[in-house]
Structure 1
Amino acid sequence: MSISRLLLQNLLPMFKELFSFELKTGFKKWSTQIYFMVFLALGILIGLASTGAFDTSTSDSILIKNSSLAISRIIIGMSGNIMVLINGIMMISIMATAIQKDYAYNFHGLLYTTPITKSGYFFGRFIANYLISIYVFCGLLLGYFLGSLYGLGTPQMGPIHLLNYLWPFLIFTVANTLIIGSIFFALTTLTRSTLASYLFCVILLLLSILSDSILSDIENKNLASLIDPFGNYALKQLTEYWTAYEQNENMVPLSGILLYNRLLWLGIAIICVAFTYFKFEFNQFLQPFSLFGRKKSLSEEVYAQSHKSLEEILNVQKDFNWMAKLKELFYLSFFEMKRIIYTPFFGIIAFIFGVLMIVISNYMKSMYDAESIPVTFLMAELAEEGLSFFLLLLIIFFSGNIVWRERENKIDELIGVSTVSNFNLMFSKFLGMVWMVVIMQLFSNFICIAIQLYKGFYTIEPLTYLKFDLYHLPYYLVLIGFCLFVQFVVNNKFFGFFLVIVPVILLPILYNYLEMRDILYSFNSNGPQLPYSDLNGFGQILYSYTIVKSYWIFMVIFLLFVALLVFPRGKEKGLIKKYRLSKTSFKVKHTIGLFLFLFCTIGIGGFIYYNTHILNKSYTDVEIEKMRVDYEKKYKYLEKIDQPRIVSSDLKIDLFPDKQSWTVDGEFYIKNKHQHPVDSIIIKFPNNLDGNYSYRKMELERSGKEIFNNEKIGLKLIKLNQPLLPGDSIKLDFNYTFAPKGFSNSDVVTDIVKNGTFFNSDNLPGLGYDSDSELSENDARKKYGLKPKPRMAKVNDQKARMNNYISNDSDWIRFQTQISTNDNQIAIAPGYLQKEWKENGRRYFTYKMDSPILNFYAFLSADYQVKKSKWNNVNIEIYYQKGHEYNLDRMIASTQKSLDYYTKNFGPYQHKQVRIIEFPRYASFAQSFPNTIPYSEEIGFLTKVELDKPEKIDLPFYVTAHEVGHQWWAHQVIGGNVQGSVLMSETFSQYSALMVMEHEYGAPAMKKFLSYELDKYLRGRTRETKNEMPLMFVENQSYIHYNKGSVVMYALKDYLGEAKLNSILKKYLDQTKFQEPPYTNSVEFINLLKKETPDSLQYLVKDMFENITLYENYVKNLSYKKAGGKYEVKLTVGSAKYRVDGKGKSKKVPVADYIDIAVFGIKSKQFPEGKELVFQKVKMDKPEKTFTFYVNEEPLQAGIDPYAKLIDRNVKNNVHDFKSQPAKVNLDEDEKSGGAGVKVTVNTGD
């Protein structure tokens, strides 16, 4: 008889019996069905929410909800990041304990005496529990399928293809369950403790965080994708450039980096199971595998500590006064703290956290891979982001551990007969965990300081670390209290873990889908939040934060008093039985405490409700949608009424930063520029939905009848008694105050703050119907019976061109203002300082412009330091926060070089000064107003500049050059309010900044910047909600006018030449600067560009501006050999060209383009990409071509479009080295025509 037959006859029956028994037992467990129902309910909720079943706001989307990629994202999204805790607890309770439970219940001794086989026992248990886990996760997919059926027949749902559901389930759910479950099973089986599995949960979180951090660097995408066990980042990388059409139509392929990820982690899982199988033995006396050696059990430790001589026992003095009980409470709390921090679990968590901090501190980056300076508040913020994950896990785990420890170690009865009160037993555990949190916070501070010192940053601020610790401590107090409450009440530790996760993780997901954001029921809410700023600290949120946190702290203390009524002292398990046992020790003072904290909770909750629902009305997204609909239906007719134009602005503004209040007293002169009289004036002003504005005056100097005045939405209509004749002007007087009251549910006022005020002219009145207040999402408009609304008017819409794209009620205006603020601050507005004085403890400034400007300006105020410089006769000033001097010289240098380049190439600068003003990091942008550039502290002032590393992007230099560029492109040339207008402002400013950067750092340094721009464009188009537009018709789509615009303009400069392109831009600027209506459009520029472009390059204008064009450039073959004293290089390259529609569907078109080809030699500091041995443009008039070159030096690499000037979704195959042959490029059959192409020989040896 063969060995295989023996195995089948002896092993298979045993496996079958054990497998069947384990499977039946697992399915009968109530916990299994609860887990399944939770995932089922979650899936149904997500399916319903994603298809519009709930009364929530509606956003435009051209993606269907049941595509293969959409379902893959749902599956992965519910397994990674913080969901690791939910899935981990569930899988530990099912898979990890498959064998360990026999040891936990001391059943292994009996079990190992039965005639069962090792393989049958081992694999029977493993596979059965694996299938049970698969069953649980089926709930999510089944629920999503059922929930999404609601959307059948709508554009959000495509045809139902079962493969779209089953394939993602196979490659992600089935695979991830095997991967994670196998590792949990192996760790718990080998150590006979679930502790190792919980540690692996932490490692999973760590890998997720690391992947997220590493993925931000485009050079480390493969590493980020491989270290993620769930395949989330591999999927992101594989599909990162898929258009909407591809996302809807394509099946997720198991190829590329996703295939490597799956093979890697499945291999790790198989190795873990195999190692565990060979290590595992049927031996009840076998010691579990341990990295730390065997420790004494708690009962042994207690015995050792309590074993004293008779003389010592007789000398004990009993004292039960309040001081003794207080000492006892703190003694026990420190005992509990030691029981936590001395465990291997805590030590490993702390170690992993330290490693994580060291790693992610190298990824403290803002834009374009620019590293942030490790200032203290950024380090403290980074530490808190990482620490929150780890403390959440520690608190959940140890809350169960310290509550159940006595029972698990069989000393609960000994504790039960002690004289220690229930109150001290409970709150000592609470305090013990608080000390644990404090220790972790201090440890994180130590790590951060060490990192700062290692990076050469020595301006350490210990008080800032302390402020962050104290600020975040209440969050952990609430979490500790709630976790302990749950574990005291329930009779199963694992079920307690699961219940804790419901409000901490699951309910926020539910609230997010249902758009429920009330801080009264959002568990452990912090209230409205702001990021910390060096200018303004934690800001005004400290008040609301203290109130909200007091509410939650009092609530959990009340819950802990409730838990005292059912405190688990003894063997009783039911709540009623535990209540009967505990109520005798629940004294009057405890009753007083219970009701005191209950009343405090109710009282503070009422105060919060008064602030968030009465003083500050809370509006849901749906309510705001309906208000927009109502606005349009009631007032749309006003759009047809011609309005005069604002021609002058004279303001008096008083800022009160300490009170977060400001008052404006101003006058606009408005002029009728039409050829007919105007008899109705529509005044729009800031809406008063939150009641923060107090309007005292909003009137015209000419009498008229008020038709309506709706302060809530900010709209007023006046019928003049005497019409305003063509060319006539009248004055609009206004006076009002902005003063917020209390605090709101989520919004925080950042326009005016204690230090760092920044608001713009949007807070001032205007004229006419405001179409921007209409509902813009077409899916939502359809829901309310409104016609679709275009994002912008057509490019040649003459009526829309009567307004510029910044303002629809003015053209160029005269401007002056008087602005006052606190006496220690500097207030700034556009214009030149005319006068400055102090009066009555306040500081006053008067500014006036000497030439007309756009009706677009800002006001700022803070306790600034000032750095000054000059360029020719132009004053340069930077207003900054003390301590933020790091990059001031780079900003000044960029301003000087920008002014120099732009003046020489485009025309004169229209002002006598450039001012850069820092504002708090409540927003991350810089914005160009007339001669005034507000600049966030986050994107320039705290960015590390490494001038010794030319490959690093100098972010302050770039941002400054871009914003200075706007003084030409927007503040001299401004397009009409039509498609394509931002081409002439944002895209041209991008190009201008690129040229200043190239002249400063050289052409090779631009490759990395442009690679980020290309990456951002290709990613941005995947998130398009309507239609991707060609650059010429861009509709304020930032990924087009910023990112694509950079790539296109740089390539155009390369083809036409820098001087030629600049002359075209100058000619266009001369024709259109300070233009009156009708304003210019992109058609005028493109026509000029075509006129100035050679016939051979006319195709570029069509490809780059008029159409959406993508390339697939690649190296097919390359080789070289020595030929005499030179090297003969043979290079075969290919190029495919595609036209793409707005939804992302592509169509191949013939290629007949001039494209760079290059051969590179040795790399050096001077030539980071390699020395250019050959670099020339060739005409690719065939899909593939072979070239022969003769060079003097040994070549290392060669390729086509090596600097990625053309838009190519896969630039990695553009260049290849000679050591190996390139991978085959898979194109459609019709794209492979042309064979090897034409042979071209070029001699570059001379």
Structure 2
Amino acid sequence: MVFFGSDLMWRDRTSNIHGILDATPVKNSTLLFAKWGALALLILTLILGLLVAGMIAQLIFGWGNIPVVPSTFLAIGLVSFFTTFFFQGMLVMFIQNFMPGRIIGMFVGAGALVSLIFVIGNLPFYHPLMNYGSIGAGAYSEMGGFSAPKSYGWEFAYWAGFLLILGTISTWIWRRGYQVSLAGRLRSIRDNLTAYSLSAAILGVSLFLGFGVLGSQSYTAEKYVNSNQVEKIRAEFEKSVAGIWQDLEPRITKVSVLADFFPENQTATFDGTYIIDNPHEETIERVTLSSGVGIDNITKLKIEGGTEVADDDLSKKLKKEYDILTIKFDPALAPGEKREVKFSTKFNGSTLTESSDILRNGTFLNNSDALLIFGNLETQFISNPDKRRKYDLGDRVEWPDRENEEARKYHLLTSASGYADFVDFDAKICTTENQIPVAPGKFISEDISNGRRCRVYKSINPILNFFSFMTAEYELQRQTWNNPAGDNIDLEIYFHPTHNYNIELMFESMKQALSTYTETFSPYQYAQLRIMEFPYQSFAQAFAGTVPFSENIGFVQNPGDSDDPKRVDYASYVTMHEIGHQWFAHQLIGAFAKGSNLLSEGLTENATMLAYENHYDFTKARRMHEERTTQQYLTQRTFDNDDEPVLAKAEGQPYLNYNKTSWVFWGMRHIIGNEVVQNSVKRMLQEHNGNMGAPYPTTLELIKILNEEVNPKYHKLIDDYWNKITFWELSFTSDVEILQKDKSFEVSVPITLDKKYAAEKDGKETSVSDIEEESLNEWVEISFYIEDPEDDLGANPFHSKLVQLSEPKTVLKFNLKEKPKYIVLDPKRALIERNVKDNTKSTM
């Protein structure tokens, strides 16, 4: 755009034909729109070419069963790309009107585009109406089309009006002849005014101002604030609630919901009933209350013995500025006392500037989106240490220590949906007849009448206070898993009718996961397991017996060739991961304390890798370990603005809870032994099942069980993995020596070893050789190969041995029946090591 747009504006003069062209009676507007049209056609041609290339690629690599839908390609190409590039190109061409030369204009035009893309959004006074050419219809999905079609129409009209103004100004200051200084052209504007140009200018101003006012009113109604303002609001909020955020909260023990979805106009209503109690030793007099829909959309609120407080400054401020109500219990909620809460909430349809959470097809909500939440004020606090210093907030509020007995009263999900242990749950969900509503719990009944479909779901046993509510035009497939530990389990996948590519693969993954986890840990605890597709996002989430699963990471993802050791099957992996949460989160859930998130995500990662390896083989699992675990941990830790804690004290860091924990369990499995490691996890699950309620466990219990179960010779390794930030360094000291003796080969392997501990505060690394009372005592696997181990990541050695090394430099001798061509240190990558390129030695 910068090059071609600038070249088009100066082409007549660079080719020296402007004298002839400017002498013709052709209007300035004709010349301008010819150049604008040329650039538009160029952009359109490039986009259409890329779309055709994409369709060809899909035909070639689409497994032979993914249909090419030209209308989908065209819609995304025109709406998502052409419109943006067109407006940007026109701006570049407009800028050239004021430049003394083409090259300078290119730099200025490029600077303008860079500012639009990277700078303007970070301005403290930024508003979307300032972002020139920002026109979009949202994300695209085959399930629901564009997510924000209303935005596209008014934004296009708004910026088209502005562009018309730019075009009119361009015709007024068009370069003609040889006297083309900017000052001279500005002075001659009056001579270039015509009825047509004035009409165009008036139309442009009308469009720009008219739709600008509409957009501004809509943003104001939606209470829009930019990211800088949000940051200031959150900082002020934390200061405002400093004295109340730790107040006691009531506990939710039962939830009943009646949800009515109206996808055709993107609205919904929820009628809910809570039973709350006070499990504390003190009375509760006040509590704050909020909802994902905003307090303006709480249409009914009746709390037994509770009334809204509106007569003090803090309560007024919380309501007006932060969308939080303050409730006073009168009489106070006594210890052990139960009360009922009845409420209604609503979701409004889409506006010009805000998409509704209720989609025309594929709505996915959870209870924090739709229902009420007591307390949880600290979830809005700023965690970034640099921003906390900026607003003089002091140290961030850390998760409670693992030894904190008060913290053990609350489980991990308290931070998401309020204080609760496991709750009784039932829901009646209604939607249009052509859609199917789904929620957690056992399916009880269905009624179809008057164009509406209603379903009732009920938890047979208490479940976490964490529910999903979904509705879409689903196709449903069912299978059964033969449960060796009890009644068979009904498997269901709800999916968009044309997204059937991976359905059988996902069923197989469900069965593999259920079999692996039941055999290894404990029986599956629900009568059903459902997976439901939803659009636009790229994640999956596990609720009780129910897994909402985005189209992008499962239903339309290419799992690759199952026999190709270089391909990873994320569709199967994510399926297995979310089913793993049916054990690690929905059976075992940690306290709301440091390290406890990895009892959910980390233990699930361990289980998932086990199921994935059982489903495929070690080679495919080793590839997944390399791509998902090692690379992501080492990369993502460098982007953490805060100090990295030891693994056992991790808080919300995904690179620790997912990636490093997965690495640690992988290492323990292949050094200590898979059976003893999984038995330790099984014991943890048995001794700390969440249905038992508080006190909830932490990593202290997990590490204690590991140390009790494994051979004491591995205790140091466990300590290095969990209680320190440890990095190993392995390499070959020199060349490997091989001597042939009769029918065997004596192989001398010279090894250099170091282990470093990183400090939690500043990350400074220190070798154990420089630390008193520390020494090397490391377990390292050494493997020997005939074939190059690079292709299969060392999965097929002809000989391997686990050795214990206690010196920085060691020479080990091996008697082998074959002459190795390659030797690899730690081939399974069990130790946390950054550079493994020097772990392989060729003997050829």
User: If the length of structure 1 is used for normalisation, what is the TM-score?
Assistant: 0.63
Where do 1:559-574 residues align within 5 Å?
Answer: 559-574=166-181
| Structure 1 residue 961 corresponds to structure 2 residue 576 | yes
- Pairing 1:398–2:4 present: yes
Q: Does 1:698 align with 2:301?
A: yes
Match status 1:1141 vs 2:759: yes
Q: Secondary structure at the match of 1:733?
A: strand
Equivalent-residue separation in structure 2 for 1:429 and 1:620 (angstroms): 37
1:1163 Cα deviation from its structure 2 partner: 5.4
Distance 2:796 2:358 in 1: 54
Find the counterpart in structure 1 of residue 274 from structure 2.
668
Is this contact kept in 2: 1:950–1:1005, CA < 8 A? yes
Contact kept, 8 Å, 1:569 with 1:582, in 2: the verdict is no
Partner of residue 883 from structure 1, selected from 492, 498, 509:
498
Distance 1:1004 1:804, change over 3 A: same
Distance (Å, rounded) in 2 between the aligned partners of 1:1164 and 1:617: 58
Q: Which residue of 2 aligns with 1:943?
A: 557
Q: Which moved more, 1:815-824 or 1:1114-1123?
A: 1114-1123
Q: Partners in 2 of 1:518 and 1:1183 — Cα distance?
A: 59
Aligned positions of 1:314-353 closer than 5 A: none
| SS, match of residue 1213 in structure 1 | helix
Whether the 8 Å contact between 1:561 and 1:594 is mirrored in structure 2 is yes
One-letter amino acid of the counterpart of residue 1003, structure 1: F
Residue equivalent to 2:706: 1089
The structure with more radius of gyration: 1
Q: For residue 4 of structure 1, what is the aligned residue in structure 2?
A: none
In 1, Cα distance between equivalents of 2:578 and 2:794 = 30
Q: Are residues 951 and 417 of structure 1, via their aligned partners in 2, closer, same or farther at CA, if it must alter by over 3 Å?
A: closer
Cα distance in 2 for partners of 1:766, 1:431 equals 55
Q: 2:69 aligns with which of 443, 453, 461?
A: 461
In 2, Cα distance between the equivalents of 1:626 and 1:939? 35
In the alignment, is the contact (CA less than 8 A) between 2:613 and 2:621 conserved in 1? yes
The offset of 1:1151, in angstroms, is 1.2
Q: Given the alignment, which residue of 235, 244, 258 partners 1:638?
A: 244
Alpha-carbon displacement from aligned partner over 1:338-383 (angstroms, at most 9, x marks no partner)? xxxxxxxxxxxxxxxxxxxxxxxxxxxxxxxxxxxxxxxxxxxxxx
Specify the SS of the correspondent of 1:790: coil
1:242-281 superposed matches below 5 A: none
Counterpart check, 1:1123 vs 2:741: yes
- Aligned counterparts of 1:714 and 1:1216: Cα–Cα separation in 2: 63
Residues 557, 437 of structure 1: CA spacing in aligned structure 2 closer, same or farther, 3 A cutoff?
same
Deviation at 1:499, TM superposition (A): 3.0
Relative distance call for 1:724 and 1:790 in structure 2 (3 A) is closer
Which stretches in structure 2 are left out of the alignment for 5+ residues? 483-487, 769-774
Residues 919-930 of structure 1 aligned to structure 2 (within 5 Å): 919-922=534-537, 924-930=538-544
Distance in 2 separating the partners of 1:423 and 1:717 = 62
CA distance in 2, matches of 1:401, 1:787: 54
Aligned residue number for residue 615 of structure 2: 1000
* CA distance in 2 between partners of 1:513 and 1:631 (Å): 22
Displacement after TM superposition at 1:1121 (Å): 3.8
Q: Give CA-to-partner distance per residue, 1:744-769, whole Å, 9 cap, x none.
A: 4xxx5463222111111112212235
Rounded Cα–Cα distance in structure 2 between residues aligned with 1:861 and 1:1035:
33
1:774-806 Cα distance to aligned partner (Å, 9 max, x none): 333344344444332233111111112111111
CA distance in 1 between counterparts of 2:789 and 2:245 reads 63
Query: For structure 1, which segment, 711-720 or 551-560, has the greater mean C-alpha deviation from structure 2 after superposition?
Result: 711-720
Deviations 1:1037-1086 (A, max 9, x none): 11112111111111112233222222221111111102312211111121
| Deviation of 1:899 (Å) | 1.0
In the aligned structure 1, how far is the partner of 2:144 from the partner of 2:116? 33
- What is the CA-CA distance between 1:969 and the residue it aligns to? 0.7
SS at match of 1:1019: helix
Partner Cα separation in structure 1 for residue 390 and residue 565 of structure 2: 53
- Specify the SS of the correspondent of 2:272: strand
Pair 1:919–1:1126, CA change in 2 (3 A): same
State the SS of the aligned residue for 2:692: coil
* Higher normalized helix content (fraction of residues): 1
Worse-matched range after superposition: 949-958 or 1209-1218: 949-958
Identity %: 27
Tell me if 1:1107 matches 2:715.
Answer: no
Give the Cα–Cα distance (whole angstroms) in 2 for the partners of residues 454 and 721 of structure 1.
70
- Cα distance in 1, alignment partners of residues 173 and 338 from structure 2: 79
Instruction: Please tell me whether residue 1161 in structure 1 is matched to residue 759 in structure 2.
Output: no
SS at match of 1:1025: coil
The offset of 1:711, in angstroms, is 4.0
Counterpart check, 1:1068 vs 2:684:
yes
- Alignment pair present for 1:738 and 2:347: yes
Q: Residues 500-533 of structure 1, C-alpha deviation per residue, up to 9 Å, x if partnerless?
A: 2232113543324435542222222126x63222
Structure 1's 534 and 637: CA in aligned 2 closer, same or farther, altered over 3 A?
Answer: same
Residue of structure 2 in register with 1:434 after alignment: 40
By how many angstroms is 1:830 displaced? Answer: 0.5
Q: Which residue matches 1:848?
A: 458
SS of the residue corresponding to residue 627 of structure 1 reads helix
Query: Aligned letter for 2:40?
Result: V
Write the mapping of 1:785-796 to structure 2, written as runs, cut at 5 A: 785-796=392-403
1:449 CA drift (Å): 2.2
Q: Sort the Cα spacing of 1:1188 and 1:776 in 2 relative to 1 into closer, same or farther, 3 A.
A: closer
Moved over 6 A (4+): 1164-1168
Deviation at 1:877, TM superposition (A): 0.7
Q: Which amino acid aligns with 2:118?
A: I
Does residue 265 of structure 2 align to residue 659 of structure 1?
yes
| Structure 1, gaps ≥5 residues long | 1-391, 1220-1246
Deviation at 1:1165, TM superposition (A): 12
Contact 2:542 2:582 in 1 (8 A): yes
TM-score (norm 2): 0.92
Question: Structure 1 residue aligned with 2:824, among 1199, 1204, 1208?
Answer: 1199
Name the CA distance, whole Å, in 1 between partners of 2:308 and 2:620.
64
Partner of 1:638, secondary structure, is: coil
- Tell me how far 1:428 sits from its aligned partner: 1.9
Partner of residue 198 from structure 2, selected from 563, 574, 591:
591
Asked if the contact 2:308/2:325 (under 8 Å) is kept, the reply is no
User: Shift of residue 1171 of structure 1?
Assistant: 4.4
- Does the alignment pair 1:1020 with 2:636? yes
Aligned mates of 1:1174, 1:703 — CA distance in 2: 72
Q: How far apart are 1:1164 and its partner, in Å?
A: 9.3
Q: Partner residue of 1:762?
A: 368
Separation in 2, partners of 1:711, 1:705: 10
Aligned positions of 1:334-413 closer than 5 A: 392=1, 396-413=2-19
The whole-number CA distance in structure 2 between the counterparts of 1:400 and 1:629 is 45
- The structure with the greater share of residues assigned to strand is 2
RMSD: 2.4
Q: Distance in 1 between matches of 2:105 and 2:6?
A: 7
**d(CA) in 1 for partners of 2:687, 2:78:** 60
Please say if residues 293 and 347 of structure 2, whose CA atoms lie closer than 8 Å, have aligned partners that are also in contact: no
- Give the letter aligned to residue 303 of structure 2: L
Secondary structure in 2 aligned to 1:976? coil
The match for 1:686 among 291, 296, 301 is 291
Q: Please give the alpha-carbon distance, in whole angstroms, between the structure 1 residues aligned to 2:376 and 2:607.
A: 35
Quote how far apart the aligned CAs of 1:897 are.
Answer: 1.4
Partner residue in 1 for 2:149: 542
Counterpart residue type for residue 435 of structure 2: Q
Deviations 1:583-615 (Å, cap 9, x if unpaired)?
556432222222222222222222221222x22
Equivalent residues of 1:1160, 1:1170 under 8 A apart: no
Contact 2:751 2:811 in 1 (8 A): yes
Query: What is the match of residue 363 of structure 1?
Result: none
Q: 1:415 maps to what in 2? A: 21
Distance in 1, matches of 2:788 and 2:118, equals 51
Equivalenced residue count is 815
Deviation at 1:681, TM superposition (A): 4.3
SS at match of 2:141: coil
Whole-Å separation in 2 of the counterparts to 1:944 and 1:621: 36
> Which of residues 58, 82, 102 in structure 2 aligns to 1:473?
82
- Cα distance in structure 2, aligned partners of 1:1106 and 1:668: 41
After superposition, the C-alpha distances for 1:1071-1128 in whole angstroms (9 at most, x for unaligned) are: 1102312211111121121112222111112111111111001122313243323333
SS in 2 for 1:619: coil
